[in-house]
């Protein structure tokens, strides 16, 4: 199961199969099982909040960037469904919030383009 994105669980589509194909994020996604980590009084740390991940694209064309923008119509943040790679090399599908970058580096092409996904809740089955 590859990286996927959609506006509903039923519409999850492989990034390479979108109307304008988008390359997979480079390397592994930057997955965190918790939103934040807090140091406890005994010196240990505990995670709190829902998982989050980041997809880092080395470079995107204008067309590829515009294809991803379809899934964040507000241009700021929106609800989206994704399938992403976890550190154990399994893919899991989630519903959560996509956050569009505050700044975009166009030179031409969008370099080091990052989509952040927060408040992830697992849907369906992973592999």
Q: Give per-residue pLDDT as tens, 6-33.
A: 999 999 999 999 999 999 998 767 888 8
Q: Is the pLDDT of residue 87 over 60?
A: yes
- Select the more confidently predicted residue: 127 or 27: 27
CA distance 86 to 72: 23
Mean pLDDT over 66-88 rounds to 95
Q: Give per-residue pLDDT as tens, 37-57.
A: 899 999 999 989 899 999 999
pLDDT classification of 125: cutoffs 50, 70, 90:
low
What does the pLDDT read at residue 16?
Answer: 96
Contacts of 22 (CB under 8 A, 6+ apart): 15, 16, 57, 60, 64, 67, 68
Mean pLDDT over 89-110 rounds to 90
pLDDT classification of 127: cutoffs 50, 70, 90:
very low
Q: Where in the chain are the domains?
A: 4-122
């Amino acid at each position: 199961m590859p990286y996927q994105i959609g506006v509903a669980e039923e519409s999850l589509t492989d990034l390479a199969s979108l109307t304008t194909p988008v390359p997979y994020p480079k390397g592994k996604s930057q997955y965190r099982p918790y939103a934040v980590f807090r140091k406890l009084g005994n010196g240990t740390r505990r995670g709190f909040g829902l998982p989050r991940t980041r997809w880092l694209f080395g470079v995107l064309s204008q067309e590829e960037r515009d294809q991803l923008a379809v899934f964040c119509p507000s241009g700021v943040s929106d609800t989206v469904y994704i399938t992403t790679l976890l550190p154990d090399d399994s893919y899991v599908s989630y519903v959560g919030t996509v956050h569009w970058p505050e700044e975009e580096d166009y030179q031409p092409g969008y370099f080091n383009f990052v989509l952040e996904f927060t408040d992830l809740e697992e849907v369906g089955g992973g592999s």
